[in-house]
Amino acid sequence: MEKYINEIISPKLQGDGGWIEYVSFENGELTLIFRGECSKCLILHRCIDWIESEIKKNLKKEVKIKAIRKKPYFQDV
Amino acid sequence: MAHIKVVRRSMRPEEWTDLRFGWLKRHIYNEKWEIKNLQIRDARQTDEMKFEYYSADYRPLKQGDMYFTPDGTAFIKADVDIPDNLKGKELWFSLKTAAEICVKVNGKYIGGVDPNRERMLLSPYVNTNETLHFDMMGYNRSKPDDERNPESLSVRGCRQIFEGAYICTVNHAVQRLVYDFELLLDIAKSELFNEDYRAFLNKELNNAMNFINFESDELAGVDEAKKYIEDVIFANDTYKGCGDVALVAHSHLDIAYYWRRIHSVQKNLRTVLIQLRLMDRYPDFKYTHTQPYTYETLEKYYPDVFEELKVKVANGQFEPVGAMYVEPDCNVPNAESLIRQCLYGQKTYERMFGKRVNNAWLPDVFGNSWVLPQILKKSGVEYFVSNKMSTWNDTNRFPHNNFIWRGIDGSEVYACVPPTHFITWNMPSQIQENWEAYIDKDSGGQTLNMFGYGDGGSGCTEEMIEMMNRFDKLAVMPKCTHTGGAEFLEKNLKNNKNLEVWDGELYLEMHRGTFTTKSYIKRANRRLEEKFRMAEMLCVLKNENKTAEITELYKKFLINQFHDILPGSHIHPVYEDAMRDYSEIEQALDKIIGTGTKYFNSLNFKRNALTFVENKNGTATRYGKKGNWIVPDIPALSGKNLRKTAYNGNWFDFDDNNLETEYYKVKFNPDGSMASLYDKELSREWTNGEFNKLKIFVDCPGNYDAWDILPNYREKEIKVKIASPLTLVESDSESLTLGVTLVTEKSTWEMLIRFFRRSRGIEVESNVDWNEKHKLAKVEFNCNVLTRKALCDTSAGFIERETHRNTTWQQARFETCHHKWCDLSESGGGVALINDGKYGVGLLDNSMSLSLLRATERPDVTSDIGKHSFLYMIVPHKNDAVSADINRLALQYNTPLIKADCEWSLPTFEPLYLQAIKKSEDGKMTVIRLCEQDGTRGTIKLPSKVKLLNMLEDIEGETDIIEFKPFEIITIGI
């Protein structure tokens, strides 16, 4: 799961100025930190749904993502 | 607890007008027929024109579906048979989206839709009796603060909700009225216009709206409302405006920024395509487009559209502007790089369109080096345009908009720093703002107002042109003239005797962090600039024709000097692309440079500075490699075998943080900074305060993270502890190295300080494991020197910068850009600081603080995290920097000795510096570029005549005596 997040999902989010970090995967709950533009995205839930569906499609696993937004200290614009 | 302020009051008349304006806009389309058989295939772009797909085939796309994926490209298609009731009518395609979509129908690119426009005209380009094969390619556009159009907020982001695609007919009567209201409401809401006129507008717009019966199905009264506006509002000339504004259509296209360079190919296609279609509809519409590189991508990947573009260039509607290959950063690249930007840019335009341009068009660059006017002038460029100093300066108002810019050597170009932003949407309030901000009303002629959406391209819209076509009807507006870029410059600046002169660099009082952010990129740029010089020189000397290969490598290198790549203001994938490019370029250059049996001095003066020569059996270490410190003593442009000098004497004494060498008595602090640096030869102390002191500051610019350093950055300093105190690490007959390891909570900083038996230089190597966030590392030198100015290398001469803070102009320049060296001197001596890839420096009173590393988070959360190694050399010296040969020392420091077997048969051209030697682009000459960098004047007698060239390699004369003046760059052909 960690490899999948780092190698498959992460580069895609980076392409939009986002950033994702794997934290843990326990009992079907995948905890991820969202940084960069993801940290303040108004529609992050849509992206999370997409990641869950990609995991289901590619890893054949049902996961529930717990998203932690880590906002840096700069002006939200 | 959330608190919502509730305001209870009746609707004001102007709000009633706004409300009805919203209703009116719902009637723009007469008929909307939904395309229901759309299919989509999600993909991600991996390279130019290369995609990896999420699925083997297309899937249906319906209203309400999610579409697009992070960093995704979507291919959407449908075969559409136009319903009979729409055939024969003027048809439009409509798709409301936050993505950037290029639309092809039956194999031909028809237009584009994006967040700034939801519809495009179909009729003249398709046969509605045929089945229309729609092929769309859309790039997800998610940069959050680049969203100019609030109406697209609901659909933006990497996962968007599809709202349907339609074939439509437009109710032009309604549309025309909407444009009238758009225009007039903008004035009514703008405090820049006369208060009484705005009250008049509010009253009369309400009256006009009263003609419309929104209850009627056919929306009766539209024509009457339009007539009322014509007769009452447009006919009113009681309120007269003033001003003379040139409206130039332009779209700013960042080649890489919040997107990778590979995406700019389609961003450019979409931008160009949309402008071409506007030109079809509006024959008077002219548009300016920069960056020959973008034209090359269009020519390569979309030749049909490029052929259309050529037609529009020929008829004057589409105007190539900007002599430079891309819009580069104009602080960090050296003079030769900036020359190549012009050379390859102009050659590209010349090949494509049979003509060069006479302007540099750099709206968004972060300040401009003082070396530019000379380079532009000698590259066929008379006019310079750059916006940021007027709108982004954080301290001083730049005092000119239309003026003459005098360069470091005295060359002059006409310059325009437009009063307002380069991205506007041509609204009356923006034009009025431009006129009011325009400083040179009495001397500069018209003011330049650019309009068109940009950053990621997009350009002008139908709405902007429709606005423009109404300006003449409004007496309250400044006089507005739609014009081309060159036309504006020639009309207003050429031979204008009233223009004032700005003699100095065009320093931007903002984005001061970009001299330092992304240390690796800066260092690679410096290293490769030198390798290009070496590779081209050796090709000439070995008579190898590799011009085509080197040109391609140079172009790739120049692209990476784009003003959001080299400055470090980009997302992480852009950084990875740049480093990959640098690696490929370096490997290719190393191959061209090759090797030989003798060490070759590529400098055109005797190489006499102590130099590290790698040797696996050497007794010294530098950058982790073994070697020896040798005084090469190689004549200019010659080869020689080198041997380590034998010396068995004891040349230094180090004990208890006290060091004595041939030149110095040094008292160190345990952290490697120097409490005293006493010069035995010159009998003077060089320190006056902290010297070679590493300082790490909290660096939170709050907004433009990668770009800015705030003036108060020194307020909060983090503790740097000593992990292992200063010790003697290594010594041999020529050098000694003292080492200290410093730590913060997250980072480790090894500082290796080298002294030499035969050099006054003191080299400091830093090996850093950097894991900070929002920090700025600097090394400070408080010198025992009384001066009010510092000298800074520009790469083609030095600039004097005041070190006091008497006025706001000096206060604003608390961080400046320099190249290989900076220096604080009084007449008897001073201290120079030479670096191998650092550009930011703070100069205050008697101190220099060299910026070493930053740790910004936006746009790249990992910016500069990781391991770094870099060098700087402290050179206390007698007399001033020029007399102390600091230029020569810095050039030697940045030019590694390489092995090559070749002969130089030409003069050495001393005392000028040999900046470049290359085969001419046409292969007929050897081109030699010489640069005066010491601020002197003189002549060089040559044994035979040479051609005098400009920087585009045109022959301009012939001579056997080169006359040169301070900071002049001279190009000759042999």
Q: Where are the domains of chain B?
A: 1-15+180-239, 29-170, 244-510, 611-898, 905-974
Partner-chain residue, chosen from A18, A35, A40, that has the shortest CB–CB distance to B70: A18
- Chain-centroid distance, C-alpha B314: 29
Q: Is A14 on the interface with B (CB under 8 A)?
A: yes
Give the pLDDT mean for B3-23: 89
Partner-chain residue, chosen from B66, B69, B858, that has the shortest CB–CB distance to A74: B858
User: How many Cβ pairs within 8 Å bridge chains A and B?
Assistant: 92
Q: Where are the domains of chain A?
A: 2-69
- Does the pLDDT at position B893 exceed 70? yes
Q: Cα distance from B438 to chain A (closest Cα, Å)?
A: 28
Question: Chain B contacts of A67, Cβ < 8 Å?
Answer: none
How much is the pLDDT for B217?
Answer: 83
Chain segment B29-41, per-residue pLDDT in tens: 999 999 999 999 9
pLDDT tier for residue B5 given thresholds of 50, 70 and 90: confident
- Does the pLDDT at position B830 exceed 70? yes
Question: Chain A contacts of B144, Cβ < 8 Å?
Answer: 37, 40-41, 77
Please indicate whether, in this complex, the C-beta atoms of B145 and A15 are within 8 angstroms of each other. Answer: no
The ipTM (two decimal places) reads 0.96
Q: Cα distance from A38 to chain B (closest Cα, Å)?
A: 10
> Quick one: closest CA in B to A75, which residue?
B703
Tokens of B81: 């048979």
Angle subtended by helix axes B303-314 and B261-281, to nearest 10: 50
Chain segment B383-424, per-residue pLDDT in tens: 999 999 999 999 999 999 999 999 999 999 999 999 999 999
- Does the pLDDT at position A77 exceed 50? no
* Overall fold of domain B244-510: 7-stranded beta/alpha barrel (3.20.110)
pLDDT tier for residue B153 given thresholds of 50, 70 and 90: low
Q: Cα distance from B571 to chain A (closest Cα, Å)?
A: 5
**Percentage with pLDDT > 70 across chain B:** 98
How much is the pLDDT for B151?
Answer: 59
Chain segment B510-527, per-residue pLDDT in tens: 999 999 999 999 999 999
Q: Is A10 on the interface with B (CB under 8 A)?
A: no
Please indicate whether, in this complex, the C-beta atoms of B861 and A41 are within 8 angstroms of each other. Answer: no
User: Nearest to residue A19, comparing CAs of B770, B862, B699, B147?
Assistant: B862
Q: Cα distance from A60 to chain B (closest Cα, Å)?
A: 16
May I ask the CATH architecture of the domain B905-974? Sandwich (2.60)
How much is the pLDDT for B641?
Answer: 96
Chain segment B245-274, per-residue pLDDT in tens: 999 999 999 999 999 999 999 999 999 999
Partner-chain residue, chosen from B573, B703, B774, that has the shortest CB–CB distance to A14: B573
- Does the pLDDT at position B279 exceed 50? yes
Residue B947, number of CB atoms within 10 A of its CB? 18
Question: Chain B contacts of A11, Cβ < 8 Å?
Answer: 71, 573
Burial B523-539 (b: 16+ CB within 10 A, else e): bbbbbbbbbbbbbbbbb
**Percentage with pLDDT > 90 across chain B:** 95
Question: Chain A contacts of B98, Cβ < 8 Å?
Answer: none
CATH number listed for the domain at residues A2-69? 3.30.300.130
Q: Cα distance from B411 to chain A (closest Cα, Å)?
A: 42
How much is the pLDDT for B812?
Answer: 98
User: Nearest to residue B202, comparing CAs of B15, B448, B428, B45?
Assistant: B15
Question: Chain A contacts of B857, Cβ < 8 Å?
Answer: 35-36, 72, 74
CB of B669 closer than 8 Å to CB of B690: no
pLDDT tier for residue B155 given thresholds of 50, 70 and 90: low
How much is the pLDDT for B260?
Answer: 96
Partner-chain residue, chosen from B71, B774, B858, that has the shortest CB–CB distance to A12: B71
Which of B143, B160, B517, B858 is the mutation pick for testing A, counting most A CBs within 10 A?
A: B858
How much is the pLDDT for B849?
Answer: 98
Question: Chain A contacts of B260, Cβ < 8 Å?
Answer: 15
Question: Chain B contacts of A74, Cβ < 8 Å?
Answer: 700-703, 705, 857-858
CB of B934 closer than 8 Å to CB of B888: no
Q: Using CA atoms, how far apart are residues B829 and B787, in angstroms rounded to an integer?
A: 11
pTM of the model: 0.97
Residue B282, number of CB atoms within 10 A of its CB? 17
Please indicate whether, in this complex, the C-beta atoms of B142 and A17 are within 8 angstroms of each other. Answer: yes
Q: Cα distance from A72 to chain B (closest Cα, Å)?
A: 7
Look over chain B and give the mean of its residue pLDDT values, rounded to a whole number: 96
Q: Using CA atoms, how far apart are residues B147 and B144, in angstroms rounded to an integer?
A: 6
Please, which residues 42-71 of chain A have a Cβ atom closer than 8 Å to chain B? 42-43, 46-47, 49-50
Q: Is A72 on the interface with B (CB under 8 A)?
A: yes
Please indicate whether, in this complex, the C-beta atoms of A50 and B159 are within 8 angstroms of each other. Answer: yes
Using DSSP's 3-state secondary structure scheme, residue B245 falls into strand
Tokens of B934: 């010491």
Q: Is A37 on the interface with B (CB under 8 A)?
A: yes
In terms of C-beta density within 10 A (0-12 exposed, 13-18 middle, 19 or more buried), how is residue B55 classed? exposed
Question: Chain A contacts of B143, Cβ < 8 Å?
Answer: 16-17, 37
Partner-chain residue, chosen from B69, B144, B703, that has the shortest CB–CB distance to A50: B69
pLDDT tier for residue B101 given thresholds of 50, 70 and 90: very high
pLDDT tier for residue A75 given thresholds of 50, 70 and 90: low
Which of B68, B139, B142, B517 is the mutation pick for testing A, counting most A CBs within 10 A?
A: B142
Question: Chain B contacts of A72, Cβ < 8 Å?
Answer: 705, 773-774, 857-858, 861
Please indicate whether, in this complex, the C-beta atoms of B159 and A47 are within 8 angstroms of each other. Answer: yes
Q: Is A77 on the interface with B (CB under 8 A)?
A: yes
CB of B263 closer than 8 Å to CB of B301: no
Chain segment B541-597, per-residue pLDDT in tens: 999 999 999 999 999 999 999 999 999 999 999 999 999 999 999 999 999 999 999
pLDDT tier for residue B158 given thresholds of 50, 70 and 90: confident
Q: Using CA atoms, how far apart are residues B401 and B411, in angstroms rounded to an integer?
A: 19
Q: Is A32 on the interface with B (CB under 8 A)?
A: no
Instruction: Specify the length of chain B in residues.
Output: 974
Question: DSSP string of B378-443?
Answer: TTT--EEE--HHHHT-SSS--S-SEEEEE-TTS-EEEEE--SS-S-----HHHHHHHHHH-S-TTT
Q: Cα distance from A45 to chain B (closest Cα, Å)?
A: 9
How much is the pLDDT for B8?
Answer: 84
Q: Using CA atoms, how far apart are residues B50 and B915, in angstroms rounded to an integer?
A: 39
- Does the pLDDT at position B147 exceed 50? no
Please indicate whether, in this complex, the C-beta atoms of A73 and B774 are within 8 angstroms of each other. Answer: yes
May I ask the CATH architecture of the domain B611-898? Distorted Sandwich (2.70)
pLDDT tier for residue B156 given thresholds of 50, 70 and 90: low
Query: What region does B472 belong to: left with phi over 0, alpha with psi -120 to 50, or beta?
Result: alpha
Give the pLDDT mean for B19-27: 97
In which element (H, E) is residue B928 found? strand B926-931
Chain B interface, Cβ < 8 Å to A: 44, 66, 69-72, 140, 142-145, 157-159, 258-260, 571-573, 700-703, 705, 773-774, 857-862
CB of B802 closer than 8 Å to CB of B848: no
pLDDT tier for residue B140 given thresholds of 50, 70 and 90: confident
In which element (H, E) is residue B19 found? helix B13-25
Q: Cα distance from B371 to chain A (closest Cα, Å)?
A: 34
How much is the pLDDT for B4?
Answer: 72
Tokens of B277: 């279609």
Chain segment B651-690, per-residue pLDDT in tens: 999 999 999 999 999 999 999 999 999 999 999 999 999 9
Q: Is A76 on the interface with B (CB under 8 A)?
A: no
How much is the pLDDT for B504?
Answer: 98
Q: Judge: domain B29-170, CATH 2.60.120.260.
A: yes
Cα dihedral sign for B16, B22, B26, B29? Answer: positive
Q: How far is CA B646 from CA B620, B629, B643, B652, B812, in A?
A: 14, 11, 9, 16, 52
Q: Cα distance from A25 to chain B (closest Cα, Å)?
A: 22
Please indicate whether, in this complex, the C-beta atoms of B858 and A36 are within 8 angstroms of each other. Answer: yes
Q: Cα distance from B738 to chain A (closest Cα, Å)?
A: 38
Whether omega for the bond prior to residue B859 falls within 30 degrees of 0, making it cis, is yes
Please indicate whether, in this complex, the C-beta atoms of B142 and A37 are within 8 angstroms of each other. Answer: yes
* Partner residues linked to B748 by β-bridges: B743, B769
